[in-house]
Structure 1
Amino acid sequence: MEEMNGAEVLVKCLEDLGVRHIFGYTGAAILPVFHALRDSGIEIIINSNEQSAAFSAAGYSRSSNEVGVAIVTSGPAITNTLTSVADAYGDSIPLLVFAGQVPEHKIGTDSFQHINVKGIFGEAAKKVIQLSNDDDVEAIVKDAYYFATSGKPGPVVIDFPMDKQQKVHEYRGINVMRFKESYHDDRHLCEDQCADFFRLLQRSKRPLLYLGGGLNSEAGSRAIREFNEHFNIPSVNTLMAKGVIDGREELNLGMLGMFGTPYANMLIQENDFFFAIGVRWDDRVAEKVGFAIGTDIAYIDINPEKMHQIKIERGPKFTFIGDSATAIRDLLDYAKKHNITPDIREWQERARFLKRSWPLDYNRESGYIQSAEVLNLLAKYIDNNTLITTGVGNHQMLAAQYLPMQRAKSFMTSGSFGTMGFSMPTAIGVQYANPDARVIAIDGDGSLRMNLGELHTIASLNLPVRILLLNNRSDGMVQNLQDVAYQGFRTGTERMKDVCFADIAASFGFGYATRIKDRSKLKDAMEAFLDAEGPCFLEICTDHEEVLYPKVPAGGAYKDMILGPYIRQVTEELYEEIQDKTGTWAMI
């Protein structure tokens, strides 16, 4: 045993847990912890504000197998992280946030920068802990790390009073495996459960996989890819599962939902067996489903609450509460043991036909660059080492539609909470977790402004983060909604002054910072942007009037999908001609 103060115990715990980076912002009520960090091997990254620090820590988690850690001070510092914590909670992202707090005897008073952390974060975090002088800091911190990753992952917020940081404790060096093993989930499907599942699958002629964020891990992605090497079932995915199956696979039809791909939204209307794995039945997807009579539904998820929240007319005929990767492997082992290989060749061809017949497209006659055009171009350069973060808005949905991500944890976006300002700070955490990867932060001008200070963080740390800004001088998605709902009255969504963000990036110290408006310069600028070293910023001025398609209107079903004026059916002859010229179905 060693004697040390509470702040030093915290730092020792983080070292024992293998933490290599923390993101944060210092202040008086957390100074003992920052002082203790100076003698550790843990690198401290100081963001421009506390919200960004927690976003960076969550980006670290989203793109790796580690748990991101944010450390901030009291009062407004911890409340600044509330949005990031709620965002992580909505997307089931493990995260640890430590906050300084006034001394314990001043909690509940009007002391300077005191806030009731437990009361404020109670519904926005997986767990909130207020340390007191009698608590075992070491056991609580080590347990919290693995609790954040267990079951339905999520953020844990730990309130650390100043006197608790300073008080002398005994540090015992408890083996972290004790805590990790306590959360081990060993639930498996039994033979009878597997038999029940395959009775449904074998009577199906048109099965469809619906892949969710619960599979967005190396283990989950590997399991579902091996499963589908055996079965070759067409698949669609949620926003959070992009990359779980390689986006270039011909039977992967991409994102389903309000702004899903045309072919995904068409195929779901024809399936007779809907196998949902690790999804949360988001209202932008589930409320638009009108399953055909006789469609069977199977559902696997680790969160038992989701079994009672399925907002569809008929509930599942097969359910399992447990780890998705484990369940998928159990099913595959059973299928191999019993030689189960359904014949769905006609359905597979139907999926291929829809994918090549209804490609994404955009206004190619406009004098202005289209955001869809930019992302269609970027799609050519996506490889296995490319990691994407996005803001929230039209650019986010277009990135989800167009970019063929090739592996799990390669597409980081705010799904459940839809948080603007997400992209840049998240990209910082992604870059630290993946130092050899090519990290591209895609943003709109509205989202970029929310955490503009992270330009300074990226430049001052000389991070090779590439920021692709699609600047349409408006909040494009909300503007599109206004045009429909309010007869074109655009209150609060347009920005009349044209600000050159590339100049701002250059002033912060970006070595490459370029702005273009001319379509003829687009390809060369994109290649220069991707080839440059260090912090890079490419601002592309896009069409102020561009509308995101396809879309399923609010309250509508998939059969009501609006394709817009540019997406149209492509004949087999024209498809072959396009393949010969471009090598990709997405460019016509």
Structure 2
Amino acid sequence: MEEMNGAEILVKSLEDLGVKHIFGYTGAAILPVFHALAQSDIEIVVNSNEQSSAFSAAGYSRSSNEVGVAIVTSGPAITNTLTSVADAFGDCIPLLVFAGQVPEHKIGTDSFQHINVKGVFGDAAKKVIQVSNEDDLESIIKDAYYFARSGKPGPVVIDVPLDKQQKMHEYQNMNVLRFEESYHDDRHLCEEQCEEFFQMILNSKRPLLYLGGGLNCEAGSHAIREFNEYFGIPSVNTLMAKGVVDERKDLNLGMLGMFGTPSANMLIQENDFFFAIGVRWDDRVAEKVGFAIGTDIAYIDINPEKMHQIKIERGPKFSFIGDAATAIRDLLSYAKKHNITLNIHDWQERARFLKRSWPLDYNRQSQYIQSAEVMALLATYVDSNTRITTGVGNHQMLAAQHFPMQTAKSFMTSGSFGTMGFSMPTSIGVHYANPDATVIAIDGDGSLRMNLGELHTVASLDLPIKVLMLNNRSDGMVMNLQDVAYEGIRTGTERPKDVHFAEIARSFGFSYAERITDRSDLKDGVEAFLNAEGPCFLEICTDREEILYPKVPAGGAYKDMILGPYIKEVSGNNIE
């Protein structure tokens, strides 16, 4: 055993866990930890604010197999991370957030920069730990790391009083494998469960896979790809599952839901067996499901609570609580052992027909650049080494509709919480987790303003992140809703003054910062942006009056999908 202070134990524990980067912002109540980090090989990335630090740490988690770590000080610093923690909780992202705290004897008083962290974060995190002077900090940290990634993953917030950081303790050098093994999930499907599943699917003629974020990891992606190479079942996916399967394949019809692709939203109306894997039955998908009355449903998820939260008229006929990748491999092994195959050729052809017959489109006659036009162009440059982050709004949904992601953990976006300001800080974490990847942060002008200071972080650290901003001088998605609900009265969503964001990026020190206003410059401008080195910023001025299509109206079902004036069937055959 070795004697060291609490701050040194915190840092040494992170080293033992293999942590290479932390994201944070310092302050008085966390100074001992930052001083200890100065003696460590762990790299400190200082963001422009604490919310961004936690977003960057979560971006590190979202795009890798590691757990991102954020370290901030007390009071307003830790409350600044609340949005990021809630965002990670909603999307089931493992995350560790450490906060400095006033000395233990001052907790519960009106001490400077004191806040009841457990009270504030109780419903926004997977777990909140208030460390006391009697606690074993090493075991708390090592356990929290694996707890955050176990079961339904999520953020853990650890509040460490200043005197705990300063006090001397014995470091026991506990083996991290002890903690990892304690969360090992060994649940498997038994032979009887596999038999029950295949009796259901063999009775169907039009099975459909619904792929969720629970598969968005290397193991999950590999398992479902192998499963479907064998069975060839058409699939649709959630926003959080982009890249789980190669979206260029003709049997993947893309994103389902309120702003899903035309073919995905059409095919779901025709299936007779709905196999949902690792999804949370988000209201933007589940509330549109009019098919459920006559369709058998099978559901696999690691979160037992979801089995009781499915908001559709008819619950799953088959369900399994456990790791999705493990269950998929069990089913495939059973099928191969018993020589089970599917004869669904006509259904496969129907899926292919819908995908090629109902492509996305936009107003090609407008004098103004369309955001959909930019996404369609950029999509042609996306490859397996591309990592995308988005803000929240129309640009987010357009990117999800258009980009054919090819690998898991390649499309990072705020799904459950819908947090504007997400893209920029998240892209920083994605870069550090994937230093050889092409990282493109896509934002609207409304979302970018939320964390504009991260332009300074990117430029000052000379990070090769490419920031693409679509500037329509409005909050487009909300404005579209206003136009429908309030007869075009746009309160608070339009910005009358045209701000040149490229000039702001240039002033921060971006090596490439350009602005495009004319369609004739679009293709060459995007190529120059993608080929430039170092921090790159491209501002494209787009049509404020553009409306996002397709969309399923609030309260409507998939049969009520509105394609808009530009999405047309290209084959000339009508959909029944």
User: TM-score, normalised on structure 2?
Assistant: 0.99
Whole-angstrom distance in 2 between the partners of 1:487 and 1:217: 44
Matches within 5 A, 1:444-523: 444-523=444-523
Q: How many angstroms does 1:292 deviate by?
A: 5.7
Whole-angstrom distance in 2 between the partners of 1:93 and 1:345: 38
Whole-angstrom distance in 1 between the partners of 2:571 and 2:124: 49
Matches within 5 A, 1:33-48: 33-48=33-48
Deviations 1:92-130 (A, max 9, x none): 000000000000000000000000000000000000000
Whole-angstrom distance in 2 between the partners of 1:206 and 1:470: 40
Report if aligned partners of 2:204, 2:272 keep a CA contact under 8 Å in 1.
yes
CA root-mean-square deviation: 0.7
Instruction: Give 2:290's aligned residue.
Output: 290
Report if aligned partners of 2:58, 2:426 keep a CA contact under 8 Å in 1.
yes
Matching of residue 356 in structure 1 with residue 356 in structure 2: yes
Deviations 1:526-578 (A, max 9, x none): 100000000000000000100000000001000000000000111179xxxxx
* 2:365 alignment partner AA: E
Whole-angstrom distance in 2 between the partners of 1:363 and 1:154: 41
Whole-angstrom distance in 2 between the partners of 1:352 and 1:323: 30
Instruction: Give 1:151's aligned residue.
Output: 151
Report if aligned partners of 1:270, 1:292 keep a CA contact under 8 Å in 2.
no
Matches within 5 A, 1:285-364: 285-291=285-291, 293-364=293-364
Q: Determine helix, strand or coil for the equivalent of 1:123.
A: coil
Whole-angstrom distance in 1 between the partners of 2:457 and 2:92: 26
Whole-angstrom distance in 2 between the partners of 1:398 and 1:242: 13
Whole-angstrom distance in 1 between the partners of 2:126 and 2:516: 44
Whole-angstrom distance in 1 between the partners of 2:154 and 2:571: 47
* 1:113 alignment partner AA: Q
Whole-angstrom distance in 1 between the partners of 2:547 and 2:293: 34
Matches within 5 A, 1:201-216: 201-216=201-216
Deviations 1:287-306 (A, max 9, x none): 10011653100000000000
Deviations 1:508-534 (A, max 9, x none): 000100001110110001100000000
Instruction: Give 1:176's aligned residue.
Output: 176
Report if aligned partners of 1:59, 1:427 keep a CA contact under 8 Å in 2.
yes
Deviations 1:220-277 (A, max 9, x none): 0000000000000000000000000011000000000000000000000000000000
Whole-angstrom distance in 2 between the partners of 1:13 and 1:90: 27
Instruction: Give 2:135's aligned residue.
Output: 135
List alignment gaps of at least 5 residues for structure 2.
Answer: none
Instruction: Give 1:533's aligned residue.
Output: 533
User: TM-score, normalised on structure 1?
Assistant: 0.97
Deviations 1:327-358 (A, max 9, x none): 00000000000111110000000001111111
Report if aligned partners of 2:293, 2:313 keep a CA contact under 8 Å in 1.
no
* 1:75 alignment partner AA: G
Report if aligned partners of 1:390, 1:423 keep a CA contact under 8 Å in 2.
yes
* 2:329 alignment partner AA: R
Whole-angstrom distance in 1 between the partners of 2:146 and 2:395: 35
* 2:214 alignment partner AA: G
Whole-angstrom distance in 1 between the partners of 2:502 and 2:406: 30
Matches within 5 A, 1:215-254: 215-254=215-254
Instruction: Give 1:571's aligned residue.
Output: 571
Q: Determine helix, strand or coil for the equivalent of 1:443.
A: strand
Whole-angstrom distance in 2 between the partners of 1:134 and 1:163: 11
Instruction: Give 1:190's aligned residue.
Output: 190
Whole-angstrom distance in 1 between the partners of 2:295 and 2:415: 27
Question: How many pairs were matched up?
Answer: 573
Report if aligned partners of 2:423, 2:441 keep a CA contact under 8 Å in 1.
yes
Report if aligned partners of 2:262, 2:360 keep a CA contact under 8 Å in 1.
yes
Q: Determine helix, strand or coil for the equivalent of 2:291.
A: coil
Instruction: Give 1:582's aligned residue.
Output: none
Whole-angstrom distance in 1 between the partners of 2:269 and 2:400: 21
Q: Determine helix, strand or coil for the equivalent of 1:383.
A: coil
Whole-angstrom distance in 2 between the partners of 1:520 and 1:75: 51
Whole-angstrom distance in 1 between the partners of 2:531 and 2:81: 34
Whole-angstrom distance in 2 between the partners of 1:336 and 1:330: 10
Identity of aligned residues (%): 84
Instruction: Give 1:577's aligned residue.
Output: none
Whole-angstrom distance in 2 between the partners of 1:329 and 1:378: 35
Report if aligned partners of 2:194, 2:331 keep a CA contact under 8 Å in 1.
yes
* 1:470 alignment partner AA: L
Q: Determine helix, strand or coil for the equivalent of 2:380.
A: helix
Matching of residue 443 in structure 1 with residue 443 in structure 2: yes
Whole-angstrom distance in 2 between the partners of 1:334 and 1:287: 34
* 2:408 alignment partner AA: A
Report if aligned partners of 1:441, 1:466 keep a CA contact under 8 Å in 2.
yes
Deviations 1:407-456 (A, max 9, x none): 00000000000000000000000000000000000000000000000000
Whole-angstrom distance in 2 between the partners of 1:546 and 1:372: 9
Report if aligned partners of 1:209, 1:235 keep a CA contact under 8 Å in 2.
yes
Q: Determine helix, strand or coil for the equivalent of 1:408.
A: coil
Whole-angstrom distance in 1 between the partners of 2:113 and 2:315: 49
* 1:40 alignment partner AA: S
Deviations 1:481-502 (A, max 9, x none): 0000000000000000000000
Report if aligned partners of 2:55, 2:426 keep a CA contact under 8 Å in 1.
yes
* 1:229 alignment partner AA: E
Whole-angstrom distance in 2 between the partners of 1:536 and 1:204: 51
Report if aligned partners of 2:474, 2:495 keep a CA contact under 8 Å in 1.
yes
Whole-angstrom distance in 2 between the partners of 1:441 and 1:381: 14
Instruction: Give 1:16's aligned residue.
Output: 16
Q: How many angstroms does 1:186 deviate by?
A: 0.5
